[in-house]
Amino acid sequence: MKLSAKEWISRVGIVLVAAILVEIISVVQYRRTMAMMEREADIRIRIVLGALTDNISNELRLTEVTMKENLWEVQRGLSNPDSALTCISYLIDDNPHVLGGCLAFVPGYFPGKDGLYEPYGRKEGGRIILEDIASGSHDYTLNPAYISVMESGKPEWSDPYRYGPDSTSLATYSYPIYDSGGRLAAVCGLDLDLSWLGDTLNSHQRFASSFGILLTRDGKLVAGPAESKIPASRVQQAVDIVNGVIDESSVKDITIKTASLKRAPYWKLAQVYSRSEVSAPMRKMRLEHLLMVLLGLGILAFMLNRYARSEKKLREASAQQARLSAELSVARGIQKEMLPKAFPDNIFGLLEPAREVGGDLFDFYRRDGKLFFCIGDVSGKGVPSAMLMSVIHSLFRIVSEKEESPSRILTLLNAQACRDNDTNMFVTFFVGCLDLYTGRFRFSNAGHDKPFILSDSVSVLPARANLPLGVFPDTTFKEQAIQLSPGTSIFLYTDGLSEAKNRQREAFGVSRVKEALSKSLGESLSPEQTVSAFRESAFKFTGDAPQADDLTMLMVRYAPSNLFSEHLELSNKIDEVSRLSAFLKSLCVKLELEGKLGLSIRLAVEEMVVNVISYAYPSPKKGTVTIYADSDYKELRFTIVDKGIPFDPTAVVPASTTLSAEQRPIGGLGILLSRQIMDSVSYCRKADQNVLTLTKSIV
Amino acid sequence: MKIDVQQSENQILAILEGELDTAAAADAEVSLQPLLDSKGKDVVIDCTKLEYIASSGLRLLLGILKTAKGVGSRVVLKNVNDVVKDVLELTGFISIFEFE
């Protein structure tokens, strides 16, 4: 299926709009999530920094508390150098984070101990090792902290530093010790272990490139990440930024949050990270999101395409449906058109199709004072059966125009129905021919439901079934005849009536038909009233159940009134013509046919009878010709019957009326005249008889 | 059927009266025999009283016409009534006869 440019544009348009919408939502979402994540990261970092500073402050405070709580012990230890050494062990034993402690005595404090004296204790393998560490090479009096405390007389914290074989991070709290005499005796130093700080700062960084640093109040880096993890240059950049040497914005992709101790020694903590790393999972998510959206759009486009295709198909199908139903209604129109629409007093028929077009038919028409009628039902419903029905209907018209024997009509119809009948459709068909002047009813039945005869009572016409039309090409159709007494009706129907079903799947049934007909007898209804009443009661019976089959009925009443009937038998002698003339003249008087009309009828009949007398019986054979005259004072019908050699005057090519006198043959004029005068001239050979029928309207 | 044939110097006149039907045709053929021997004279057939004509009658008329034409005679039908004229018309005879 080819898509038009318009369809393409509309489809691409829908996908594009969807894509733009999804992208806008995605971007907004991304921005908001990013902002949220950054805020979250900031908060986290601030919390971490806050916790760290609190931790450090706490450690410092605890060290200071240790100092204060053991001050008395220390002051007691000032009594002699040994006790001074011992009291250090108390000091450092009291606080697990204090790794070591010393007392840097004012030189020459202890009499007998010359010069420098610095007892020092340190924890090593769970024990405390005490020793004097003052020596020539270690002159503590040069230590800035010692000097400072000695000068100010106030405690102070050193900046963190690394010491010892393990290069442990330490910070020393220096405290002035006064003896009982109020003399500044020594500076007590407590080494606080800060090794945990480095761990806490950098061991749990969420991102590979983020790190924490610790700076002194002056901005000197004292703790940071291992160089194996973060390059020194990067750390230096961070230090410079914290110290205000360079601007944060001048370094690519760096974000630094700082926090300071709110007490001496006012160290600074900084957390460094790159925004790009924080947003990396988000970017990854966004990429995934984008891929998913693209996939979704692809699916959408596919579905749209599928939908549009199926929708197009649906549209085409419904257009086709509409076309088809338009064609069906045309077919129905044609079918209806073929059915008789005008009904004389004593005939009425109807056809209610179950679908748009049906497979039933009925028809009737009058010819030669005879009523030809038929009813039929094509197997199946819908268009194919309606088509076959139309064919059969047309054929019936054509065939019965020439043929008046019902069985012959069926034989001819059967031959056509059997031709190319690949679908094995068949037609049940009943043909009747009712002589309106004599009441002679001839019929032949091709497997159709037997009609009812309504006279004094209701009975089924004993119509031999025969096979339906279209079954076998060589079917013989038996013809039957009965004599109808005036007032008798024939009721024909299709199984659409007898097999009309209600919601309970119960059929209307033949017995109900018979019953209703018996009832109608008492009410002396006309054919139209009877048929209409049947229609009503059938529809009432079926209720809201869908009509399963065509409903067709035809009713014919033989109700002759004021019939004229005479006949004359002549022998095959030309002298007999005068008897014929006399017979015809008296006929004209009786039927009040005056002047030209009477004379021309007389001429027509005479010509035909003379023909018979002259040619039917080759000399010297003797024979008779019988002339029947029947009339209802509207139409006059002559039936000329002889037992002579078969001769069909209607098949004779009429004599030319345009030849010159010399060229004209003598003869052939009689048939011409007769055929021109009469309304109809028809011939049939019936039981070794030539039967010629002439009719003329005499109204 | 009554037929009266009158010979004069330049024409033969036949007066037909009644119905020229099949029954009458045999007799009429005999009565009209003189008309077949016109010898160049005009043949005039007075149909004023001819009430009816059948095809056998037409055959007689056609026979007369053919013979007369062969010898150069005219055949004139006089005062043909409507019924007979219809028959002549139906058979196309109206075009081969002369009427007065």
Which tens digits make up the pLDDT trace of A194-226? 877 766 777 667 777 888 888 888 888 877 887
- Asked whether residue A526 falls in the same domain as residue A591, the answer is no
Which residues of A touch chain B, with CB atoms under 8 Å apart?
Answer: 574-575, 577-578, 581, 595-596, 599-600, 602-603, 606-607, 610, 655-662, 664, 666-667, 669-670, 672-673, 676-677
CA distance to partner chain A, nearest, from residue B74 (Å): 12
Please answer yes or no on whether B91 and A670 come within 8 Å at the CB atom: no
Q: Measure the CA–CA gap between A330 and A326, rounded to whole angstroms.
A: 6
* The domain boundary residue, chosen from A193, A217, A248: A193
- Asked whether residue A187 falls in the same domain as residue A205, the answer is no
Q: Retrieve residue A192's tokens.
A: 């606080």
- Asked whether residue A528 falls in the same domain as residue A625, the answer is no
- Asked whether residue A169 falls in the same domain as residue A204, the answer is no
- Asked whether residue A338 falls in the same domain as residue A477, the answer is yes
B86 — contact with chain A (CB < 8 Å)? yes
**Which chain B residues contact residue A577 at CB under 8 A?**
21-23
CATH assignment at residue A620: 3.30.565.10
Q: Measure the CA–CA gap between B84 and B91, rounded to whole angstroms.
A: 11
- Asked whether residue A423 falls in the same domain as residue A535, the answer is yes
CATH assignment at residue A244: 3.30.450
Instruction: Parse chain B into domains and list their residue ranges.
Output: 2-99
pLDDT in tens, chain B (100 residues): 899 999 888 889 999 999 888 888 888 888 888 888 878 888 999 999 998 888 888 888 888 888 888 888 889 999 999 888 888 888 888 888 888 8
* The domain boundary residue, chosen from A557, A575, A599: A557
CA distance to partner chain A, nearest, from residue B16 (Å): 17
Q: Retrieve residue A478's tokens.
A: 């038996």
Q: CATH number of the domain at B2-99, out of 2.20.25.10, 3.10.105.10, 3.40.50.740, 3.30.750.24?
A: 3.30.750.24
Q: How many domains does chain A have?
A: 4
Residue A180 — φ and ψ, nearest 5°?
-60, -25
SS3 A339: coil
Residue at A26 is within a domain: no
Q: What is the pTM of this model?
A: 0.54
* The domain boundary residue, chosen from A538, A557, A576: A557
Residue B5 — φ and ψ, nearest 5°?
-110, 125
- Asked whether residue A153 falls in the same domain as residue A82, the answer is yes
**Which chain A residues contact residue B21 at CB under 8 A?**
577, 581, 606
CA distance to partner chain A, nearest, from residue B26 (Å): 10
Please answer yes or no on whether A574 and B63 come within 8 Å at the CB atom: no
- Asked whether residue A161 falls in the same domain as residue A261, the answer is no
Q: Convert A459-491 into a string of H (helix), E (strand) and C (coil).
A: EECCCCCCCCECCCCCCCCCEEEEECCCCEEEE
pLDDT value at position A655?
Answer: 66
Residue at A516 is within a domain: yes
B63 — contact with chain A (CB < 8 Å)? yes
- Asked whether residue A590 falls in the same domain as residue A620, the answer is yes
User: Which residues in chain A show pLDDT less than 50?
Assistant: none
Please answer yes or no on whether A574 and B83 come within 8 Å at the CB atom: no
Residue at A225 is within a domain: yes
pLDDT value at position A356?
Answer: 58
Please answer yes or no on whether B83 and A596 come within 8 Å at the CB atom: yes
- Asked whether residue A90 falls in the same domain as residue A168, the answer is yes
B71 — contact with chain A (CB < 8 Å)? no
Q: How many beta-carbon pairs under 8 angstroms link A with B?
A: 73
Please answer yes or no on whether A656 and B26 come within 8 Å at the CB atom: no
pLDDT value at position A665?
Answer: 63
Residue at A388 is within a domain: yes
pLDDT value at position A2?
Answer: 59
Residue at A286 is within a domain: no
What is the length of chain B?
100
- Asked whether residue A178 falls in the same domain as residue A230, the answer is no
B51 — contact with chain A (CB < 8 Å)? yes
Please answer yes or no on whether A658 and B92 come within 8 Å at the CB atom: yes
**Chain A residue closest in CA terms to B91:** A657
Residue at A234 is within a domain: yes
B91 — contact with chain A (CB < 8 Å)? yes
Are the C-beta atoms of residues A121 and A100 closer than 8 Å to each other?
yes
What range defines the domain where residue A523 resides? 329-557
- Give per-residue burial for A591-629: e unless 16+ CB within 10 Å, then b: bebeeebbbbbbbbbbbbbbbbbbebbeeeeebbbbbbb
**Chain B residue closest in CA terms to A672:** B91
- CA-to-CA dists, residue A157 to A64, A127, A167, A169, A174, angstroms: 10, 26, 19, 14, 6
